[in-house]
Chains A and B, each alone.
Chain A
Amino acid sequence: MPKKKVIETKKLGRVFINGDIEVHALSEINISIEEGEFVAIMGSSGSGKSTLLHILGCLDQPSSGEYYLDGVFVNTLNKNELADIRNQKIGFIFQSYNLLARTTALENVELPLVYDRTGRFSNSKELAKKALEQVGLGNRTHHKTNELSGGQQQRVAIARALVNNPALILSDEATGNLDSRTSIDIADLFVTLNNEGKTILMITHEPEIAQFAKRIIYLRDGHVLTDELIHNRSTKESALKDLELIT
């Protein structure tokens, strides 16, 4: 049985116009990602990684080309439909966590369910608690944002991305603000979630983090440079061993 396509783009392009200057941030992007994949996106600064992620996450719309998310043709959706699709099909993880200040972990994780209009979730507290357990923070549910370490905050953010059971988890440099060891923990958490069936797409600058994924896409100047499967994936153990060799 062929697997379902979570992402399919056809000749996707994004042009920013600043006065007279046109910036072609993305052009001719053809990507197809199936359910259960774990993809890392790499590329130098300004290569268009974030721009791509914003379009895939329905925060931005392409200037040209077509985008299908979980079978939905995104190009023609209006603002409210885009908001709803973000709420139902996407889980975002950001470099700077973006948690609500002075708010408990549980309430932060509940947040996407506040905007759920489908009514498919009956007990949001229960779901948020479960998501926090999934990221290993079952004992921190009532801690406030400022009482958690950076790594813990990012785990809360990951739980928030999981709570609505999205078709796709998008992460833009989730480990960018964390030390190497904590980064490896987060990457390992992604692997665990992927093993549980989540489709994950993560942007990263760090090759050793990208190495945890199953597939790497390199971008350069808004084009796909390479798109390859990884044969010798890192594990937490191998990554920690490599880390010790350096230090």
Chain B
Amino acid sequence: MKQLLKTFKVAFKSINKNRTRSLLTALGIIIGVAAVIMTISAGEGATQEVQNQISGLGTNLLMITTKKEHRAGIDVRMGRRIEKKDFDILQKNSIWMSKLSPFIASGVRAIGPQGNKSTTIYGVSSDYFEILSREIVSGDVFTEEDVNSARKYCVIGETIKEELFAGTDPVGHQIRINKVPFTIIGLLKEEGKGTMGQDQDDMLIAPYTTILNRLYGHRSGYNMIMASALSENHIVDAKIEATELLRESHRIKEGEDDDFEIMTQIELQEITGNVTGILTLILGAIASISLIVGGIGIMNIMLVSVTERTREIGTRLAIGARESDILTQFLIEAIVLSLAGGVLGILLGIIGNQIIYKATDFYIPTDVNSILIGFGFSVLVGVVFGYFPARKAARLNPIDALRYE
């Protein structure tokens, strides 16, 4: 034990005597650990952001879609279309779902006084605004009456306003959507960029009836039905209820699979959590490679150092160092270097996260796990890649080592 302490001192002196080389040795680890911390933190940050946005949708949300299967990279519709009949049944019989809205999305060209742009129009009922808690800053949303009469009213997002009605209040103005004139009755509150970078204000919202009848003649299918459960505690009840109602309506026999899917907000969160989790893992793994490269750097320089210090090792052996003393000395040197590299890397990673936050506004919470991983990894790298050079040093023949030129 006392000998180990002395060997520690020897190793520290040796590191201190070759500061430049020591720093260069540790550099690989510094960068590797910083990379691991920054990527894992960025992954975590993205995950949190996605989760926040999904919770922003409203915790009571249910989405009812047709059954899809993933084949060769594309979603293939397996079940029946979700259509008016389904919506009517749910609306008439549901106890646990307080609000319901069909949802139709369609790419369109909108023409305003200052130009035209391609955008997306969503056809929904008046409940939609409450289900997703989207607010209006000017004007109003359309009413149930507007929906029933299929009025050519629409609510527009901030981006549409900026591009087609810059500097004016668009409410009350006309906008032509695929050549059909609509009256703008409201302006949506700005939402900003979505998780995947999509513009959440580049949209129009109109009564679904208007879209089906005036824009498409007679299209009948919906993309989905959105609903909100009475409360957070009734999401499961709502899901079971909707499942039963739709199975009955679709005449699905007992034992047969559903031909539709109902996704709750919580499930959505879980799925995206899995996806972003995998993403984080992949990023972390890539960053770990840089740590391994750093480790090889340590090994490389340690090997050079062993050769360079052959005479020193010979001298130490001649004056009574045991092989184990030399082995521990070089191992400690490697571990201390990679550990110091790890600590510096952690600092660099935290600073890097701050810089990214300052520069891009993308908040990256420095993940505690990433610090632990980075730290543990750097010690491991030190042991693994330090052992081989250390063993080489310890096994030198003292007579040859003393003569080494």
Q: Which of B281-335 contact A (CB under 8 A)?
A: 311-312, 314-325
Q: Most chain-B CB neighbours within 10 Å: which of A88, A96, A98, A112?
A: A98
Residues of A within 8 A of B324 (CB): 80
Q: In the complex, are the beta carbons of A116 and B320 less than 8 A apart?
A: yes
Q: How far is the CB of A107 from chain B (nearest CB, A)?
A: 8
Q: In the complex, are the beta carbons of B399 and A60 less than 8 A apart?
A: yes
Decide yes or no: A115 and B315 within 8 Å by CB, A94-B402, A98-B402 being known contacts: no
Decide yes or no: A79 and B323 within 8 Å by CB, A98-B311, A100-B312, A117-B3 being known contacts: yes
Q: In the complex, are the beta carbons of B311 and A86 less than 8 A apart?
A: no
Q: Considering the chains assembled together, what is the distance between the CA atoms of A117 and B322 in angstroms?
A: 11
Q: How far is the CB of A119 from chain B (nearest CB, A)?
A: 8
Q: Considering the chains assembled together, what is the distance between the CA atoms of A160 and B320 in angstroms?
A: 12
Q: Considering the chains assembled together, what is the distance between the CA atoms of A138 and B3 in angstroms?
A: 28
Q: How far is the CB of B305 from chain A (nearest CB, A)?
A: 13
* Chain B residues in the interface with A (C-beta under 8 A): 2-3, 6, 9-10, 13, 17, 311-312, 314-325, 398-399, 402
Q: Considering the chains assembled together, what is the distance between the CA atoms of A230 and B316 in angstroms?
A: 35
User: What are 20 sample pairs from A and B whose C-beta atoms fall under 8 A apart?
Assistant: A60-B399, A79-B323, A80-B322, A83-B317, A83-B320, A83-B321, A87-B319, A87-B321, A92-B319, A94-B315, A94-B402, A98-B311, A99-B315, A100-B315, A103-B13, A111-B316, A112-B319, A115-B322, A119-B2, A164-B320
Q: Which of A69-88 contact B (CB under 8 A)?
A: 79-80, 83-84, 86-88
Chain A residue nearest to B325 (CB atoms) is A115
Interface of chain B, helix or strand or loop or mixed? helix
Residues of B within 8 A of A101 (CB): 17, 312
Q: In the complex, are the beta carbons of A115 and B321 less than 8 A apart?
A: yes
Q: Which of A51-68 contact B (CB under 8 A)?
A: 54, 57, 59-60
Q: How far is the CB of B317 from chain A (nearest CB, A)?
A: 7
* Chain A residues in the interface with B (C-beta under 8 A): 54, 57, 59-60, 79-80, 83-84, 86-88, 90, 92, 94, 96, 98-103, 107, 111-112, 114-117, 119, 160, 164
Q: In the complex, are the beta carbons of A59 and B320 less than 8 A apart?
A: no
Chain B residue nearest to A107 (CB atoms) is B13
Chain B residue nearest to A98 (CB atoms) is B315
Residues of B within 8 A of A115 (CB): 3, 6, 316, 319-322, 325
Residues of A within 8 A of B9 (CB): 114
A98-B314, A115-B316 known, 12 other contacts, Cβ within 8 Å: A54-B399, A59-B398, A83-B322, A83-B323, A90-B320, A92-B318, A96-B311, A103-B17, A107-B13, A114-B6, A114-B321, A115-B322
Decide yes or no: A102 and B17 within 8 Å by CB, A54-B399, A111-B316, A114-B6 being known contacts: yes
Residues of A within 8 A of B320 (CB): 83-84, 86-88, 90, 112, 115-116, 164
Residues of B within 8 A of A112 (CB): 319-320
Residues of B within 8 A of A84 (CB): 320, 322
List the 6 closest A-B pairs by CB distance, nearest first.
Answer: A87-B320, A98-B315, A115-B320, A83-B322, A112-B319, A86-B320
Decide yes or no: A59 and B17 within 8 Å by CB, A54-B399, A79-B323, A94-B402 being known contacts: no
Q: How far is the CB of A112 from chain B (nearest CB, A)?
A: 4
Q: In the complex, are the beta carbons of B10 and A59 less than 8 A apart?
A: no
Q: In the complex, are the beta carbons of A114 and B10 less than 8 A apart?
A: yes
Q: Considering the chains assembled together, what is the distance between the CA atoms of A160 and B6 in angstroms?
A: 18
Q: Considering the chains assembled together, what is the distance between the CA atoms of A115 and B319 in angstroms?
A: 8
Q: Considering the chains assembled together, what is the distance between the CA atoms of A144 and B289 in angstroms?
A: 42
Residues of B within 8 A of A60 (CB): 399
Q: Considering the chains assembled together, what is the distance between the CA atoms of A98 and B321 in angstroms?
A: 15
Q: Considering the chains assembled together, what is the distance between the CA atoms of A59 and B402 in angstroms?
A: 11
Q: In the complex, are the beta carbons of B319 and A86 less than 8 A apart?
A: yes
Chain B residue nearest to A113 (CB atoms) is B6
Q: How far is the CB of A190 from chain B (nearest CB, A)?
A: 19
Q: Most chain-B CB neighbours within 10 Å: which of A96, A102, A112, A115?
A: A115
Residues of B within 8 A of A90 (CB): 320
